[in-house]
Amino acid sequence: MRTLLLSAAAISLGLGAVWACSSSSTGVAADAGAPPADGAVVARGEYLVKSVALCGECHTPRLPDGRLDTTQWLAGVDRRFDVEPDDDTRGAVSAPNLTPHESGLGGWSSDEIRSAIVDGAGLSGPLTSLMPSYVFHNMAAGDADAIVAYLRSIPPVAHLTSGRQKLTVPVDGPPAPLPEAAVPHTTLPSSDPNFARAERGRYLAGVAGLCIDCHSTWRPDARPPLALGTLFAGGRGMSRAEWGVVGDRTPAVIYSYNVTPHESGLAGWTPAMVAATLKTNLDDRKEPLCRPMPGGPMGSYGALTDEDALDIGWYITTLPPIDSGDVPQCPIPTPEVPPPPPADAAPDGPVDAGADGRDAADATDGADADAAG
């Protein structure tokens, strides 16, 4: 099987949330005096932020080796994306600070944060389609509230990111939500004992999570920006530079993989194989997947519960198959090296006699002995 990106990915210019960075006029959240959220709610929000919605993938700076700098967790990234890289005056969009510092969400109310997540509404105007609010719009209200509770509970970090530059594609309204009915269901019959697991995987991969965002064709000028006819069929391009990908074998643009069970995708994969890939970041050949796929113990998906990873596996492997054609692969395949010749094979060229000629002499003596025998 070819190397793939299973992210949510990932996928892309949209992992995590890219919000408008602005604060309220008073600098004090409207519900700042509200009682703290229940610990279980905060814990649920932490799990969703870190391992399902993948907010840190966009809103946390990276170290030189590409790993997230957890000392600046969710503190924002200046010029995180550049949708017009050939023009220094246009196209740069920062991923704002999501911590409860006044330079981040300290002046936002819980309702305002929730509205940014699920409706793409910022305090100073609509958010860009880099923020996948069009996916999160279908998230369960309790999960959206849990994310808000977690964001309000983390340590504040002072970091004011720059505002976004002008964009060729005007942002005259938030991106239209992805219709919930457009998110494909499992092809398993409802009588199948694993139907509920697959449908729960649908929620994790296509509603609360970003597999669907990274592994679908993305069109920034469309509403919603995902091509509805090819959801999960891959082909979304992601800039190596923007995602902090290191390594000489990685191309400048990385394309997400078709994760439907078509021959051009994951045909033949089992739910357990998908779950193992999410948890280890290794494909079916035990080779590491290319970033920005955030799998493995050092990636966001490494902390998925075993149950959630397997549920995603049941969903992914029972999606309607879609033929994506050939998608460029990452990393660039290593050139094949011919296997070494057998130990008893004759050399192709003259024997290297070495500095004193003993190697050639030994070889001649051996041949004479064989002839004498």
pLDDT of 223-252, one tens digit each? 888 999 999 999 888 877 777 676 666 778
Instruction: Please give the model's pTM, rounded to 2 decimal places.
Output: 0.80
pLDDT for residue 160 is more than 80: yes
- How many residues appear in the chain? 373
Q: Average pLDDT of 259-270?
A: 97
| 122 or 315: which leads in pLDDT | 315
For residues 152 and 157, give the distance between their C-alpha atoms in angstroms, rounded to a whole number.
Answer: 12
For residues 179 and 78, give the distance between their C-alpha atoms in angstroms, rounded to a whole number.
Answer: 31
Which residue in 10, 11, 163 sits closest to 92, CA to CA? 163
Per-residue pLDDT tens digits for 189-211:
999 999 999 999 999 999 999 99
Q: What's the pLDDT score for residue 24? A: 40
Query: Is the separation of the CB atoms in 38 and 154 below 8 Å?
Result: no
Per-residue pLDDT tens digits for 281-319:
999 988 888 888 889 888 899 999 999 999 999 999 999
Per-residue pLDDT tens digits for 351-371:
444 444 444 334 344 444 443
Q: Average pLDDT of 123-147?
A: 92
Domain ranges of the chain: 39-316
Structure tokens at 196: 């509920």
pLDDT for residue 74 is more than 90: yes
Query: Is the separation of the CB atoms in 253 and 239 below 8 Å?
Result: yes
For residues 9 and 209, give the distance between their C-alpha atoms in angstroms, rounded to a whole number.
Answer: 9
